[in-house]
């Protein structure tokens, strides 16, 4: 506080003293004029002249006396006015000098006027009289100081008037006891009451101002300066002034100036401070630091850590000061309510830009902790820091722009410490606005988020059910959820359904808010709840309609179920067997729920055709339909074709009962579906259940499809028969060979060419459960004929055997891992073969749940492999001997270690090589070492069944006479008979017959005769087969047949002799005679000739004469074979 402030009191006092006299002072030198003389009286009458003169003289004398008195009074008044005017002028000069002194323009007081006139002059003289002027002028400072510290005692002194006041200030003894007691009480209260401290500070400042103005230090004005000194000592007796000064300094320090050097001065040594004073000082320092800590939003540390950075280091302080500094830093520990409040305040200060009504966990946790302790700030004993922080946090949470001042002129109160001003919206204000708008990023988390905020708001004194929280007081959940829960029940829905009410009215939303809500149910929480109510009402409405529909559909379901049960009884078991059979042969038949549910489609089964080249022309999908009744009618075919086309299938298979057949309309419908455009054509096939069950693989099913379709000639066959459906009356041979394979035996299958030996062995291989290897030795003609080393050719053949076995095992057991064939260049000897067979057997057994499976090896076309010419026949026999020898050594006669057996079948036409001696067979021939099976012609009944079955698949029928003619002329030879059937169809329309589009035909005797005649002509297939293969001129069997064709009958002995000569010629031509002695050669020729005659007689081509067991002669019937050979 500057000096001008101290001078304000005496200046004001002087102005009040002199203002009124100066304003009332009269001005002017002239006295008031004497009143005018009265006018002369008129002259008296003569009679009374003397008396009148005497009266007149007395009157004149009286008037003269009055006039003289008035004149004298006027002169006296004039003198007084002149004296007052002179005093006023001198007083004015003195007053101006006093003002200059008070303003500091001069250090000299004006001189006294010395007048005894006006009271103002006398008062001025009294004020500025030498020796008392400054005391009287500045005494007011001491009076005000006494009023601050001892108002009661001073009032008693002031009641004594000016004399009592003068006596107090001029007294030389101590102050009165009343003043001393009152001042000491105030000093004691100053340790706990800020108002007492303020009074002491003001009084001390007034005393100091007085001492400075009157220059008490110069020794003048002793009595009143002594009073000032006693008063100063009385105020500062116990050090409160120093305490007050330091506390004031603490609060005046800006927060940015809080450095260790500054805070060190707060706690420096003070001899007059006692323990309570130090405690008050520490409280002030801690409160100041705490308020600065609150206002520092960037502070991340706790208050203790933040304060330690701004307090002097302990190493720089003495023991006493160090303890005081430590008490300040640790005043508000981490578990204190002040620290909890500070953390909550910091969370409010550092909230990020909100986009939804939620707070991060790092912000919510300190706020929740503080909300539980917020009530402690209302306690009367709560610290100033706690109450200030509580007010600050409340202001921040309310969204106000609140701040804490950087410095204070005096210790502040709570309302002074926290200031709330107008400003830009804070982040918490924006958060409240977001909550008011019910914005959220996750509607499911909004109730928990807003409830947490509302709970904190309740602790801060806000109503949770008020804006912006809008939380139900009972459930502490958003009011929208409470209202939505109340609206999502049957009663509320019925009211809405009946009155067509709005969900907005349930949520108490305005029309504008409802229109602003997005239709998808996203966005603000009230919009989400609005969508939830509407969705619930829609769902209940939908369920009501569904219930009504279900009730109405119950009768329909009962009707459907009864139909379904009937359909399942009719088709279910059959379809289950069909599906299982298709799965076993590798045809995928996925389940279809739609077909399983529809009674009319229950008898259908969709399946995927194998993705192999042989199936490509049939498409990729098929539809199987279970037929009804003993006849396949036109309607059945059309229904199957339509459903197959709708299902995207290219093939429709009608599985009918055994013995059922298609009528003429059904056949025409099959042809019609096959003849449609590419995108509309469906191949409708007719299969009996028996024939379907007969198929053991996908290839068999393909054969059935080929045979059953009208797209090919049913009698046409080229090469080996690869389908079980093509065999007729071969079951006995197949069963016998299967038994031999299961037993692991070696078997020779022989017969005339074109009689089906290779097809028979392949049929047996298809029925073997284990792997098989088919080796056509004709394909190894080059290795056998031209290799220098017979072992190399044998290695190639045996390596192929191993590869075929592994490939077959992989196809039958796709999930297994099987050994690979020996690599090229490695010798495949008996040991190598045996090791491969053992590993293969173990792998097959492991994949088949530990049960071994029999395997089969087929060496076909042996006669073709050896037919290499006389110069190489020995080499070829060596190759064959090595192959047979290694196989026998590798297989042996006992079961394999894995428990499985491997059967070997040697297939060959009748050829002298079969009787050639082999060293590996103890110089025995193949025919002598192994059991043999001879393939004969079909019996007449079997031949007729075959032709009727093949023709019936496409609606082709034969008259009894025509069929008998074809069977008789073919003599039961399967290939010739089927060729006759194919030639018969060619008579009607050759191109359509080849394409299978001929349609239903009834073949008569004329067509059969004409077909046979055509096939007997030169160049026809039957004639070529007979002349070059069945009865080849170079083969012993062909020579015998040709001899029988040339004569009517030949005796058995002649046929044996002819056969022996032919065999000898073959032995000599092939070089076999080089390996035999003449006697052995003769014996083997006889043996071969005898067997040839016996086997030829068993073919069914010859008619025996005499004893049927030992015929005497044979005759070749007059049929196509005889005519072709006789003409050739």
Contact 89, 120 (CB under 8 A): no
Closest C-alpha to 904, from 805, 791, 823, 794: 805
Q: What percent of the chain has pLDDT over 70?
A: 79
Does the pLDDT of residue 565 top 80, yes or no? yes
Higher pLDDT, 847 or 130: 847
Mean pLDDT (the chain) is 78
Question: Mean pLDDT across the stretch 1092-1102?
Answer: 87
pLDDT class for 35, splitting at 50, 70, 90?
A: very low
- For the domain spanning 585-711, the CATH number is 3.40.1340
- The listed range with the strongest mean pLDDT (45-59, 298-312, 541-555, 678-692) is 541-555
**pLDDT higher than threshold 60 for residue 40:** no
495, two tokens:
């009211």
pLDDT at 122: 58
| DSSP structure class, residue 848 | T
What pLDDT is attached to residue 31?
37
* Cα–Cα dist 493/509, whole Å: 18
Instruction: Compute the average pLDDT of residues 853-870.
Output: 80
pLDDT in tens, 692-702: 776 767 777 77
8 Å CB contact between 93 and 110 = yes
Supply the pLDDT for residue 111: 61
pLDDT tens-digit series, residues 388-441: 998 988 888 888 888 888 888 888 888 888 888 877 888 888 888 888 888 887
What is the mean predicted confidence (pLDDT) over 321-327? 79
Percent with pLDDT over 90 in the chain:
6
Q: What pLDDT sits at residue 903?
A: 92
Least confident of 293-297, 360-364, 780-784: 780-784
Range with the lowest mean pLDDT among 22-31, 42-51, 650-659? 22-31
pLDDT of residue 708: 60
As a whole number of angstroms, the distance between CA 851 and CA 900 comes to 9
pLDDT for the residue numbered 810: 87
pLDDT band at residue 802 using 50, 70 and 90 as cut-offs: very high
The domain made up of 1033-1127 is a member of CATH 1.10.10: yes
Predicted confidence at residue 749, as pLDDT, reads 92
Q: Per residue in 167-176, pLDDT tens? A: 888 887 788 8
Q: Which residue has the tokens 């004594």?
A: 160
- Asked if residue 795 has pLDDT above 70, the reply is yes
Asked if 882 contacts 791 with a C-beta cutoff of 8 angstroms, the reply is yes
CATH number for region 731-937: 3.40.50
Count of other CB atoms within 10 angstroms of residue 710: 26
Separation CA 692–CA 658 (nearest Å): 10
Query: Which of 321-335, 346-360, 845-859 is least confident?
Result: 321-335
Q: Please tell me the predicted confidence (pLDDT) of residue 61.
A: 59
Is residue 533 pLDDT above 60, yes or no?
A: yes
User: What value does the mean pLDDT take over residues 631-657?
Assistant: 85
pLDDT digits (tens, 9 = 90+) for 875-922: 788 888 889 999 998 887 544 545 678 999 999 888 877 888 887 888
State the Cα–Cα distance between residues 1044 and 1113, nearest whole angstrom: 10
Alpha-carbon span 509 to 487, nearest angstrom: 14
Mean pLDDT, residues 150-164: 87
- For 340-399, the DSSP string reads HHHHHHHHHHT----SSS---HHHHHHHHHHHHHGGGGGSTT--HHHHHHHHHHHHHHTT
- Is pLDDT larger for residue 121 or for residue 1079? 1079
Quick one: 538 exposed, middle or buried, by C-beta within 10 A (0-12, 13-18, 19+)? exposed
* Segment among 94-108, 854-868, 991-1005 with least mean pLDDT: 94-108
CA angle 417, 421, 427 (to 5 degrees): 100
- Residue 160: what pLDDT? 85
Of 112-121, 494-503, 1001-1010, least confident by mean pLDDT is: 112-121
Higher pLDDT, 574 or 125: 574
Q: Kindly report, residue by residue over 173-204, the tens digit of the pLDDT.
A: 788 888 888 887 877 676 556 567 678 778 87
Report the pLDDT value the prediction gives residue 754, as an integer from 0 to 100: 81
Mean pLDDT of the 117-125 span = 55
What is the CB-side half-sphere exposure of residue 846 using CA atoms within 13 A?
12
More confident residue, 844 or 681: 844
Sequence length of the chain is 1128
- Return the top range by mean pLDDT from 9-13, 31-35, 754-758, 797-801: 797-801
Report which of 753, 766, 802, 799 is spatially closest to residue 780, judged by C-alpha positions: 799
Phi, psi of 763 (to 5 degrees): -65, -40
Measured CA to CA, the distance from residue 614 to residue 712 in angstroms comes to 14
Q: Does position 89 have pLDDT exceeding 90, yes or no?
A: no
**What is the mean predicted confidence (pLDDT) over 98-113?**
56
């Amino acid at each position: 506080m500057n000096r001008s402030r101290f001078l304000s009191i005496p200046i004001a006092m002087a102005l009040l003293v002199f203002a009124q006299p100066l304003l009332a002072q009269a001005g002017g030198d002239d006295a008031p004029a004497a009143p005018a003389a009265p006018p002369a009286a008129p002259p008296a009458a003569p009679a009374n002249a003397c008396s009148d003169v005497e009266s007149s003289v007395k009157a004149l004398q009286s008037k003269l006396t009055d006039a003289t008195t008035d004149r004298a009074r006027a002169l006296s008044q004039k003198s007084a006015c002149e004296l007052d005017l002179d005093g006023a002028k001198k007083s004015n000069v003195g007053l101006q000098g006093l003002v200059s002194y008070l303003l500091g323009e001069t250090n000299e007081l004006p001189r006294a006027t010395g007048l005894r006139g006006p009271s103002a002059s006398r008062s001025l003289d009294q004020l500025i009289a030498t020796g008392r002027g400054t005391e009287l002028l500045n005494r007011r400072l001491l009076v005000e100081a006494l009023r601050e510290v001892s108002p009661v005692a001073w009032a008693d002194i002031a009641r004594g008037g000016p004399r009592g006041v003068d006596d107090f200030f001029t007294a030389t003894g101590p102050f009165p006891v009343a003043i001393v007691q009152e001042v000491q009480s105030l000093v004691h209260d100053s340790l706990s009451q800020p108002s007492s401290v303020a009074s002491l500070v003001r009084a001390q400042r007034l005393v100091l101002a007085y001492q400075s103005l009157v220059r008490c230090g110069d020794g003048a004005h002793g009595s009143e300066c002594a009073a000032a000194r006693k008063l100063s000592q009385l105020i500062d007796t116990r050090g409160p002034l120093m305490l007050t000064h330091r506390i004031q300094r603490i609060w005046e320090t800006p927060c940015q100036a809080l450095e260790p050097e500054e805070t060190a001065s707060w706690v420096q040594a003070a001899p007059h401070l006692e323990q309570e004073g130090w405690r008050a000082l520490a409280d002030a320092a801690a409160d100041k630091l705490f308020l600065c800590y609150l206002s520092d939003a960037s502070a991340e540390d706790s208050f203790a850590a933040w304060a330690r950075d701004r307090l002097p280091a302990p190493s720089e302080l003495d023991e006493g000061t160090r303890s005081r500094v430590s008490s300040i830093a640790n005043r508000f520990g981490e578990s204190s309510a002040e620290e909890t409040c500070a953390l909550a305040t910091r969370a409010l200060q550092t909230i990020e830009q909100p986009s939804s009504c939620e707070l991060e966990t790092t912000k919510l946790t300190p706020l929740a902790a503080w909300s539980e302790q917020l009530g402690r700030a209302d306690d009367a004993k709560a610290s100033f820091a706690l109450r200030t922080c509580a007010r600050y946090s409340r202001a921040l949470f309310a969204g106000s722009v609140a701040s804490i001042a950087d410095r204070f002129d005096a210790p502040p109160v709570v309302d002074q410490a926290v200031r709330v001003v107008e400003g830009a919206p804070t982040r918490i204000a924006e958060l409240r606005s977001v909550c008011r708008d019910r914005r959220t990023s996750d509607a499911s988390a909004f109730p928990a988020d807003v409830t947490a905020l509302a709970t904190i708001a309740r602790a801060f004194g806000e109503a949770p059910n008020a804006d912006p929280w809008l939380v139900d007081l009972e459930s502490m959940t958003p009011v929208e959820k409470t209202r939505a829960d109340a609206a999502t029940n049957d009663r509320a829905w019925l009211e809405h359904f009946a009155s067509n009410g709005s969900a907005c009215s349930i949520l108490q939303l305005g029309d504008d808010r409802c229109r602003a809500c997005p239709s998808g149910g996203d966005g603000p929480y009230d919009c989400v709840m609005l969508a939830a109510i509407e969705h619930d009402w829609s769902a209940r409405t939908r369920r009501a309609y569904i219930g009504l529909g279900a009730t109405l559909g119950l009768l329909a379901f009962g009707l459907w179920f009864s139909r379904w049960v009937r359909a399942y009884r009719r088709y279910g078991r059959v379809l289950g067997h069909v599906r299982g059979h298709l799965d076993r042969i590798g045809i995928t038949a996925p389940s279809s729920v739609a077909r399983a549910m529809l009674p009319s489609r229950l008898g259908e089964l969709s399946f995927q055709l194998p993705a192999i080249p042989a199936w490509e022309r049939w498409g990729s999908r098929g539809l199987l339909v279970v037929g009804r009744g003993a006849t396949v009618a036109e309607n059945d075919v059309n229904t199957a074709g339509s459903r197959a086309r709708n299902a995207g299938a290219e093939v429709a298979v009608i599985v009918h009962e055994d013995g059922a057949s298609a009528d003429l309309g059904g056949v025409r419908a099959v042809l019609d579906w096959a003849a449609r455009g590419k995108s509309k054509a469906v191949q409708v096939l007719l299969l009996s259940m028996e024939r379907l069950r007969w198929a053991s693989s996908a290839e068999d099913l393909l054969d059935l499809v080929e045979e059953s379709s009208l797209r090919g000639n049913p009698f046409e066959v080229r090469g080996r028969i690869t389908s079980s459906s093509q065999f007729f009356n071969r079951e006995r041979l197949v069963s016998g060979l299967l038994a031999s394979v299961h037993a692991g035996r070696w078997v020779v299958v022989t017969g005339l060419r074109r009689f089906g030996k290779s097809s028979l062995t392949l049929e047996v291989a298809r029925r073997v459960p284990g792997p098989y290897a088919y080796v056509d030795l004709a394909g190894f003609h080059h290795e056998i004929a031209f290799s220098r080393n017979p072992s190399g050719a044998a290695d190639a053949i045996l390596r192929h055997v191993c590869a075929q076995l592994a490939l077959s095992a992989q196809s039958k057991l796709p999930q297994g891992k099987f050994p690979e064939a020996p690599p090229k260049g490695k010798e495949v000897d008996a040991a190598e073969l045996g090791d491969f067979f053992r590993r293969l057997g173990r792998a097959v057994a492991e994949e088949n749940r530990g049960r071994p499976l029999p395997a089969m090896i087929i060496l076909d076309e042996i006669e073709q492999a050896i037919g290499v010419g006389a110069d190489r026949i020995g080499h070829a026999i060596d190759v064959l001997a090595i192959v047979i020898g290694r196989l026998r050594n590798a297989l042996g006669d006992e079961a394999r270690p894995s428990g499985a057996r491997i059967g070997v079948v040697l297939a060959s036409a009748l050829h002298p090589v079969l009787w050639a001696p082999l060293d590996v067979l103890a110089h025995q021939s193949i025919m002598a070492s192994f059991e043999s099976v001879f393939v004969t012609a079909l019996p007449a009944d079997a031949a007729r069944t075959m032709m009727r079955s093949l023709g019936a698949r496409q609606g082709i029928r034969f008259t009894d006479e025509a069929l008998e003619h074809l069977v008789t002329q073919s003599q039961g030879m399967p290939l010739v008979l089927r060729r006759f059937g194919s030639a018969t169809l060619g008579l009607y329309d050759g191109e359509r017959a080849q394409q299978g589009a001929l349609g239903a035909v009834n073949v008569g005797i004329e067509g059969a005769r004409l077909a046979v005649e055509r096939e007997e002509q030169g160049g026809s297939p039957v004639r070529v087969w007979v002349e070059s293969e069945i009865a080849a001129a170079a083969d012993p069997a062909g020579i015998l047949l040709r001899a029988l064709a040339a004569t009517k009958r030949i005796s058995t002995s002649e046929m044996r002799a002819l056969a022996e000569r032919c065999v000898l010629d073959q032995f000599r031509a092939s070089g076999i005679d080089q390996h035999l002695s003449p006697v052995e050669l003769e014996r083997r020729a006889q043996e071969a000739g005898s067997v040839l005659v016996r086997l030829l007689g068993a073919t069914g081509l010859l008619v025996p004469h005499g004893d049927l067991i030992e015929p005497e002669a044979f005759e070749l019937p007059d049929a196509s074979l005889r005519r072709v050979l006789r003409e050739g």
